[in-house]
Structure 1
Amino acid sequence: MNVCPLCNGLRQITVYCSYCRQPMEDQGKITDYFDDYSPYMDGDLMKLVDGYPYTYTNHECVHLFYCPHCQEEEVRFIKE
């Protein structure tokens, strides 16, 4: 069974904004923002509808990162 190290608190990473080079904040899985019930759905099932065709087969969790300095958002693929 594969688990996301960020979602499960096993690891922290620092992502820097590609625009202003300031540290970004992890806002969690992108699929959690789909609707009110998305955070409670099965993670593997949500990977089939997340808009990225290989997240399920590559065991990747798609995280949204937000820059509080310039308000930019970036998506990063986290290996499970």
Structure 2
Amino acid sequence: MGEAILACPNCDNSMFDQGRIYDYYDDYSPYMDIDVIKLADGDPVSSQKDECVHLFKCPNCGFDVQKKITIT
């Protein structure tokens, strides 16, 4: 699991970064260029930004949320 940086709104437990949401699209998504995949989100400007949508999940209650993070 990734870094815990969010508090779960359901149970206040730590949520963990599960990686890019784009990696969950299909079997080949983790191997595709991120700029190509980002075009699928419907916002052509998003591929020009230094940000990426990640999935965060609570191991305690199973709640998950998508959050944009800055790519460094």
Which has the larger displacement, 14-23 or 61-70? Answer: 14-23
Structure 1 residue aligned with 2:27, among 26, 33, 36?
A: 36
In structure 1, the residue matched to 2:67 is 76
Question: How high is the TM-score relative to the length of structure 2?
Answer: 0.82
What is the alpha-carbon distance in structure 1 between the residues aligned to residue 66 and residue 19 of structure 2? 10
RMSD over aligned CA atoms reads 1.6
Contact 2:4 2:15 in 1 (8 A): no
In structure 2, the residue matched to 1:22 is 13
Give 1 or 2: higher strand fraction. 2
What is the alpha-carbon distance in structure 2 between the residues aligned to residue 76 and residue 19 of structure 1? 16
Give 1 or 2: higher helix fraction. 2
Q: Name the count of aligned residue pairs.
A: 68
Structure 1 residue runs of 4 or more that deviate by more than 6 Å after TM superposition:
none
Shift of 1:19: 1.8
Sequence identity percentage? 44
Question: How high is the TM-score relative to the length of structure 1?
Answer: 0.74
Q: 1:43 to 1:52 in 2, by over 3 A?
A: same
Where structure 2 has 5 or more consecutive residues not aligned to the other structure, the ranges are none
Where structure 1 has 5 or more consecutive residues not aligned to the other structure, the ranges are 1-11
- Could you tell me which amino acid in structure 1 is paired with residue 58 of structure 2? C
What is the alpha-carbon distance in structure 2 between the residues aligned to residue 37 and residue 22 of structure 1? 32
In structure 2, the residue matched to 1:67 is 58
